[in-house]
Homo-oligomer: A and B are copies of this chain.
Amino acid sequence: MTRTIDLSARAKGMPASPIRRLAPLAVAARSAGKHVYGLNIGQPDIPAPREILDRLKSFDEANVAYGPSEGLPEFLEALRTYHAGWDIELSTEEIFVTTGGSEALLFVVAAVADPGDEVIVFEPFYTNYSGFAGLVGVETVPVTTLSEDGYHLPSREAIEAKISSRTRAIMLCSPNNPTGTVYTDAELELVADLCRKHGLFLVADEVYREFTYDGLRHRSAMTLEGMEQQVIVTDSLSKRVSLCGARIGWIVTRNREVLDAVLRFGQARLCPPTLGQYIGSALNDVPQSYMDGVIAEYEQRRNVVLAGLDEMPGVFVRKPEGAFYVCTRLPVDDSNRFAEFLLREFDLDGETVMVAPGDGFYATPGLGLNEVRIAYVLNRDELTRSMRVIAAALEAYPGRRSTPGG
């Protein structure tokens, strides 16, 4: 070729997934005969409900056809009914089905922000928010939350200081990935108030809605009064019913212009996956006992992890209220190095653990280096053993700090 062929600046600037970057080390550890407990990624081991999985066997169409861009009527109706169970009364026109919560976030960011615009996120945050924003040229501006506060929101002033003339939305994930924090009513109202004052969209990621513990019940941003035109909820079947790979999510909003825009984005990609919607249409056939059992199981797992971490000298953790993650501060120099140490050099009776280094969940450079995220997606026995591995690894780790991290 006569001229240099080069990628876009967007492509060059796109970060690799911090959650997945340790994968080659885990492969090597397993090849070397170690058992690796994977606590680094939110892939639940919980079986999907039979009511949903069994539908695969009843698919009897001659081929797998395109559905409507906005979703199959049968699945939209199932979602309408599901929301009614949460006292969110919707018409099916207020729901738009997407290819996972991922596409929901991509379409929403593209609908509310142009290249050079900004969206506010609370860090540590679900890293892929930056990925989707970067793909469409939008900047994520972080407001830092603290381990000491259980990652609850900072003051109104601290948030407001990050709002500029280019800010288009505040993104709020509750129950939170990666912290497990469930924001209080007062926090939700604070964010809503800032959105009202500054004319911003409130993008609420509620994929972990059911997963709250200690008797807490999640409040949806859809219930915020006077915010009908500003609230956009993104959601997904992935975690709720262990269908991560089905890639079925959706957008809920009462803002008709937003719905119209995502429909036009959605038409370009034709339709979300037909098979996932087909089986997901059985969502309301899943008995409450299934969800109750899953939630109870996660709550017990959280308690196992928390008890384990609490016993480790120099480890700081606050009890998270929901989802299936906990962020914890470790007495280490750099949690990336500690995560690599676990996979490369350490084992306890042939077992080790894979965790997600904390800095991957921050946009502010230098933060999170003494934190890790643990996804409690294994059973209690495995989690107990995993905690023993981490405790022993912290003692053996050459980069250990004598004082508690932070």
Contacts and interface: CB of A to CB of B under 8 A. Distances in A.
A274 interface: yes
A246 B275 CA distance: 6
Main secondary structure of the interface of A (DSSP, over half): loop
Interface in A94-138: 99-100, 102-103, 106, 110-115, 117, 128, 131-132, 135-137
B267 A65 contact: no
Contacts of A5: 199-201, 229-230, 255
B2 A199 contact: yes
Interface in A46-95: 46-48, 53, 56-57, 59, 62-67, 69
Interface in A160-199: 168, 195-199
Given A5-B229, A229-B5, A269 B66 contact: no
A64 B136 contact: no
A297 interface: no
A144 B1 CA distance: 26
Lowest 10 CB-CB distances: which A-B pairs, in order? A3-B199, A131-B268, A245-B274, A17-B267, A63-B242, A11-B261, A102-B269, A48-B63, A47-B62, A64-B245
21 contacts: A1-B195, A1-B226, A2-B197, A8-B261, A11-B112, A11-B261, A16-B263, A17-B264, A20-B69, A63-B243, A64-B246, A66-B244, A102-B268, A102-B270, A103-B269, A131-B265, A131-B269, A136-B136, A136-B137, A246-B275, A273-B276
